[in-house]
């Protein structure tokens, strides 16, 4: 292994994959090996696999990372030849084989070996163009680049031959509409599901008070928030009151047969931490299925900010959670950041961080941005390794909240 491979910073990320109903059904594990990398390009593919899985899968467990969704990972030939090195839950994994994988004379044997263990096989459509002798029966998922002019024709040709069809590089709503309308694709992946981006509004309206939601979440970032203040603010949002009473009267919180009908007692019983998280979900709850996927990404960012703050101890974790969330809410809401922050009770350092990336909180946002973009040039390998750890734990925390009815409140 080269010295570069041993010591260069790298980061991992998850990219969501959605089905035809735009439900989040799978994730692609991304590995970025150098600053600014937007594809999995690295000197040592085997080392990349070891690094990404030791961080993502073994750190928190695949069930905590993606729940019951599928996970795609790039499988180099050397990894397959050393399959015994890992004991992964094969029934939940797609081993994604790259085009150069098939240059090896042992490629077909390696695929058969993977299938015998239980892995599903994913390949790019270009494999069949370069190697027409590859049996499509060996493949469970075919990736087709949506930027190709003939992508719909290719999908129609492969439809019904066995594998699922995944449209990749779905970068905007127009592309999603086009490949979805074609009817052949089963799954979709691209930046249309990832913030920041312009988010179209849903045609349906929900009962809410948007200004109160934003104000509530902002107020909850303050450690000086009093129960009486919170009670008054919550009372301005009837739908949120209903949610709080439903939570506090659930099996997890009810004591005996006595139900709580007082808003004050509900606030006291639930506590600020739980109410803050419920407020976050309420703020982000939308009818658009694309936005539902984006909510997960936003909460990952907020939870990662809280974990970093807990570790470095220069910023209160509650403040960091709100900081991380609001730092992307402008794109999610389709509002300029100055407009979004009008009337918010944020401190001057918080405002400076969100508007100008200044101060200690601004540095925290810079770190989050660097990890998300893969631009690691200013960070040491040790720092990036900690960020990878923060990332997978933040993803696991979000997964617990979104999937389970009894969430964890510390990140």
The pLDDT-based confidence of 34 (bands split at 50, 70, 90) is very low
Instruction: Note whether 62 and 187 are same-domain residues.
Output: yes
**Residues 338-342: what's their mean pLDDT?**
83
Instruction: Note whether 123 and 185 are same-domain residues.
Output: yes
State which of 243, 261, 285 marks the end of a domain.
285
Tell me, yes or no, if the pTM score tops 0.85: no
**Residues 312-316: what's their mean pLDDT?**
83
On whether residue 299 sits in a domain, the answer given is no
On whether residue 235 sits in a domain, the answer given is yes
Q: In the structure encoding, which two tokens stand for residue 201, read together?
A: 């509004």
Instruction: Note whether 189 and 211 are same-domain residues.
Output: no
Q: Is it the case that residue 251 has pLDDT exceeding 50?
A: yes
Instruction: Note whether 219 and 258 are same-domain residues.
Output: yes
pLDDT tens profile 109-158: 889 888 888 889 999 999 999 999 999 999 999 999 999 999 999 999 99
Q: How far is CA 323 from the centre of its chain?
A: 17
State which of 160, 193, 226 marks the end of a domain.
193
Range name among 42-51, 146-155, 346-355 with the lowest pLDDT average = 42-51
> What is the CATH number for 72?
3.20.20.450
Phi-psi region of 125 (alpha: psi -120 to 50; beta: other; left: phi over 0): alpha
State which of 285, 317, 340 marks the end of a domain.
285
Nearest to 179 by CA among 202, 145, 129: 145
Helix (H) or strand (E) holding 278: helix 263-284
On whether residue 294 sits in a domain, the answer given is no
Instruction: Note whether 128 and 187 are same-domain residues.
Output: yes
Instruction: Note whether 14 and 153 are same-domain residues.
Output: yes
Spatial neighbors of 142 by CB under 8 A, at least 6 apart, are 122, 123, 124, 125, 128, 136, 158, 163, 164, 165, 166
Give the chain's domain count. Answer: 2
Give residue 179's pLDDT: 97
On whether residue 182 sits in a domain, the answer given is yes
Range name among 32-46, 118-132, 160-174, 358-372 with the lowest pLDDT average = 32-46
Range of the domain at 254: 207-285
Instruction: Note whether 211 and 164 are same-domain residues.
Output: no
Percent pLDDT > 70 in the chain is 68
Instruction: Note whether 123 and 250 are same-domain residues.
Output: no
Give residue 35's pLDDT: 39
On whether residue 86 sits in a domain, the answer given is yes
Instruction: Note whether 46 and 182 are same-domain residues.
Output: yes
On whether residue 165 sits in a domain, the answer given is yes
Instruction: Note whether 162 and 84 are same-domain residues.
Output: yes
Instruction: Note whether 12 and 136 are same-domain residues.
Output: yes
Specify the higher pLDDT residue, 260 or 377: 377
On whether residue 110 sits in a domain, the answer given is yes
**Residues 379-400: what's their mean pLDDT?**
84
Instruction: Note whether 233 and 189 are same-domain residues.
Output: no
């Amino acid at each position: 292994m080269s010295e570069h491979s041993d010591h260069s910073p790298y980061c991992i990320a998850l990219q969501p994959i959605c089905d035809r109903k735009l439900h989040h059904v799978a994730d692609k594990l991304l590995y970025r090996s150098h600053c600014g990398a937007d594809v999995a390009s690295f000197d040592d593919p085997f080392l990349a696999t070891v690094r990404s899985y030791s961080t993502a899968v073994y750190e928190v467990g695949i069930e905590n990372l993606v729940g019951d969704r599928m996970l795609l990972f790039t499988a180099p030939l050397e990894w397959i030849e050393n399959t015994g090195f890992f004991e992964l839950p094969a029934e939940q994994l797609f081993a994604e084989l790259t085009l150069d994988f098939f240059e090896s004379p042992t490629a077909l044997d390696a695929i058969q070996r993977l299938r015998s263990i239980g892995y599903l096989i994913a390949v790019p459509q270009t494999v069949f163009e370069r190697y027409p002798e590859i049996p499509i029966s060996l493949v469970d998922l075919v990736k087709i680049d949506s930027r190709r002019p003939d992508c719909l024709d290719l999908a129609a040709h492969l439809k019904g031959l066995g594998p699922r069809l995944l449209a990749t590089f779905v970068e905007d709503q127009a592309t999603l509409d086009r490949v979805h309308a074609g009817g052949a694709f089963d799954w979709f992946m691209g930046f249309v599901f990832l913030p920041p981006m312009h988010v179209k509004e849903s045609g349906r309206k929900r009962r809410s008070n948007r200004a109160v939601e934003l104000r509530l979440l902002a107020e909850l970032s303050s450690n000086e928030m009093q129960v009486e203040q919170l009670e008054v603010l919550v009372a301005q949002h009837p739908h949120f009151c209903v949610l709080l009473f439903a939570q506090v009267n659930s099996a997890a919180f009810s004591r005996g047969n006595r139900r709580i009908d007082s808003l004050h007692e509900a606030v006291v019983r639930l506590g600020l931490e739980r109410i803050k998280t419920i407020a976050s979900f309420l703020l982000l709850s939308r009818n658009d299925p694309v936005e539902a996927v984006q909510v997960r990404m936003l909460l990952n960012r907020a939870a990662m900010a809280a974990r970093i703050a807990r570790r470095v101890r220069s910023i209160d974790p509650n403040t960091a959670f709100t900081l991380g969330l609001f730092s992307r809410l402008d794109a999610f809401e389709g509002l300029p950041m100055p407009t979004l922050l009008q009337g918010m009770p944020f401190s001057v350092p918080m405002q400076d961080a969100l508007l100008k990336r200044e101060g200690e909180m601004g540095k925290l946002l810079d770190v989050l941005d660097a990890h998300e973009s893969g631009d690691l040039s200013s960070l040491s390998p040790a720092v990036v390794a900690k960020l990878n750890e923060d990332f997978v734990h933040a993803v696991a925390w979000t997964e617990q909240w979104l999937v389970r009815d009894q969430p964890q409140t510390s990140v």
